[in-house]
Amino acid sequence: MKFECVNWNQTEDYVTHFWRQNVAQMWTETEFPVAKDIASWNALSSDEQTAFKRVLAGLTGLDTHQADDGMPLIALHTQDLRKKAVLSFMAMMEQIHAKSYSHIFTTLLPSEESRFLLEEWAPNNRHLRFKGDIIVSRYRKLLTPNPSRYDVYMAHVMSVFLESFLFYSGFYYPLYLAGTSRMTTSGEIIRKILLDESIHGVYVGYLAQEIREELTEDERQRADAEMYELLEQLYANEAEYTQEIYGAIGLVEDVDNYVRYNGNKALMALGFEPYFEHEPFSSIVLNALDTSTKTHDFFSVKGDGYVLALNVEELRDEDFIFDDV
């Protein structure tokens, strides 16, 4: 192994742009006081609470595998040290995403119920297991010392599918509730996660397109065929999962449109044309995708327009001594 030093003193390019964007979006779950949602939570029906709990449990599992398998293994086989650094930062944020769902559960649910959702319900849900197996199996092909560039490329494709497509059936409901002025703090957390995942998908999509150029024409054709086959399998599974989660609250058709919309976004991040036809989905959720600030209580909740404070001085006793007016 050779000794290396990352060199950031290079011409500005998309890698430095994505580094800055990731750092600008840095946050942690403790900045969001989920206790503000307790009254709203208690007002939800049993079916609404069940849907909310299950989507968060499913999202936890997906973020866990993205943090533990996806980003680290893709980074391991990324030669450019700056590109690797961006992926490592993203992996750290995936851990924060996974912890954020537990932050919500800790506030709203008894610990035994949280344990059941995260240790029994989600790991045993056949739809979650199906998509987890497909994604992680592609990731773990990179555990070999010298995986083929084809396998490295397909791991990137799976990462983009996860970041830009498969998370979104879970994101839908917290965004929908927040858009109707319910569970708004939890909705802020989901919006922060969504903003992260959106740039993760685009960044890994750029890397994937570069790797695809290295493949032979036969490999590209094989990769494209495998990609569309996997897309169809994952979408069929996602449609069944959507029926299971949202059937009792009457949102299946709208969520399905939202899923297809995001499937097309994943393909576009990889450099392909849209594949799915879809109808317009809820304007409530569409408005939640707006990246302008939703929260203006700067002393308690971090909104999407939050600016990190730098060079902060500690308060001193003399700061509270005022001249008489």
Cβ-proximal residues to 43 (8 Å cutoff; 6+ apart), any chain: 182
**Does residue 313 register a pLDDT over 50?**
no
* Per-residue model confidence (pLDDT) at position 317: 54
- Catalytic residue positions, numbered: 101
Picking from 238, 240, 253, the residue whose alpha carbon sits closest to that of residue 285 is 253
Q: What is the pLDDT of residues 75-113, one digit of tens each?
A: 999 999 999 999 999 999 999 999 999 999 999 999 999
* Per-residue model confidence (pLDDT) at position 2: 83
At 325, the pLDDT band (50, 70, 90 cuts) reads very low
Q: How far apart are the C-alpha atoms of 296 and 303, rounded to whole Å? A: 7
Cβ-proximal residues to 60 (8 Å cutoff; 6+ apart), any chain: 98, 101, 102, 118, 122
Query: Across all residues in the chain, what is the average pLDDT?
Result: 89
Q: What is the pLDDT of residues 111-150, one digit of tens each?
A: 999 999 999 999 999 999 999 999 999 999 999 889 999 9
Give the pTM. 0.87
At 293, the pLDDT band (50, 70, 90 cuts) reads very low
**Does residue 308 register a pLDDT over 70?**
no
Q: How far apart are the C-alpha atoms of 178 and 191, rounded to whole Å? A: 10
**Does residue 21 register a pLDDT over 50?**
yes
* Per-residue model confidence (pLDDT) at position 312: 40
